[in-house]
Structure 1
């Protein structure tokens, strides 16, 4: 996956989130995930070192809230944020572009997975046709006709599924957001479906 933030941009964006309100580390991760419509969720290993650096520079402070640590922007942090207001606008544009790019990657992943499944079905149909060409009996001919019909129907089902899933993904991306692992989960589940279908072959 291509980088979401350019060098130094995440640091500035964290300051802008803390300027809105004090937050726990997890709340910062969740806020970033929400801004990206669920297509990107930074790891704790990405966020906490940057927070530690901001604290070291005196731009944020931290305090204990039970078992959690709350981060809050300082006056020095607000001063830097104000001085870099124009740069923050560029970062917001980067976020918008990154959301668009990540959504395209999700759609590409769905398309590639569907093409793989269709290719396997087509390969199975060719094998069935080759088997039927060797001395077919009336029963074999009937089986081949049924197989061809089933393949055609399966192709229609796949196309309908692909269009519906793309529509569902776009709706979710525009609303509550897509989880970052959606492509991995999709590929895994489609692989399982493909294996199940091919396992039914005689």
Structure 2
């Protein structure tokens, strides 16, 4: 989904500005936008490529094929368009800066909420540990290792972050491949098989 900062026509103009320094293919433009937003926004291929096609139709960019990649390059008409709309582009850049700041605040809020939840988990574990120390273990059940439970909770959050980061990166790459028409049913089946194998191998490593 396009972030609110990009009103109608703004993303198209911003993409044109990203091409003024050097030609880029679609995935490089997606990465450039993701970096500009500090990783808080990653546009889909379905968002980027239709706008690139419109820029090409308007004569503002040209495209060439290099191997399996389609590379887009700004034209002289495109540079004139940027000069003509310099003030508008400057306003968009300011809005992007404000948007990045707002999204960063939302991320910080989410992190703070996660820390509160973690502190609550730790407090609960501490209470359980104190209760166990007072009452002692039952004759039929071994005493739980509460320090190990606390460490495991920390590790779980780190593992979830790593999985989410991997998912976002893979999703972005798959979208770019699909936009080039290179994602086949056979490739998806191979992906499923590889992911299943990797899951089994990872669990084996974790349980060692």
> Shorter-normalised TM-score: what interval?
0.5 to 0.7
Following superposition, the deviation at residue 126 of structure 1 comes to 5.8
Instruction: Classify the secondary structure of the residue corresponding to 1:63.
Output: strand
Taking CA–CA contacts closer than 8 Å with sequence separation of 6 or more, which of the two structures ends up with the larger relative contact order? Answer: 1
CA 1:81–1:92 in 2, change beyond 3 Å: closer, same or farther? same
1:81 is matched with: 82
Deviation per CA, 1:115-153, whole angstroms, max 9, x where unpaired?
A: 122223444556778899xxx76x58xxxxxxxxx8xxx
1:120 is matched with: 121
Maintained 8 Å contact 2:5/2:92: no
Deviation per CA, 1:3-55, whole angstroms, max 9, x where unpaired?
A: 34233211111111111211111111122222223332222121111101111
TM-score, normalization by structure 1:
0.60
Give the CA RMSD over aligned residues: 3.9
Maintained 8 Å contact 2:59/2:77: yes
TM-score, normalization by structure 2:
0.59
Alignment length, in residue pairs? Answer: 154
Maintained 8 Å contact 1:24/1:71: yes
Deviation per CA, 1:52-82, whole angstroms, max 9, x where unpaired?
A: 1111222111111111111011222222211
Alignment gaps of 5+ in structure 2: 138-146, 155-160, 166-208
Give the whole-Å Cα distance in 2 for the aligned partners of 1:68 and 1:183.
28
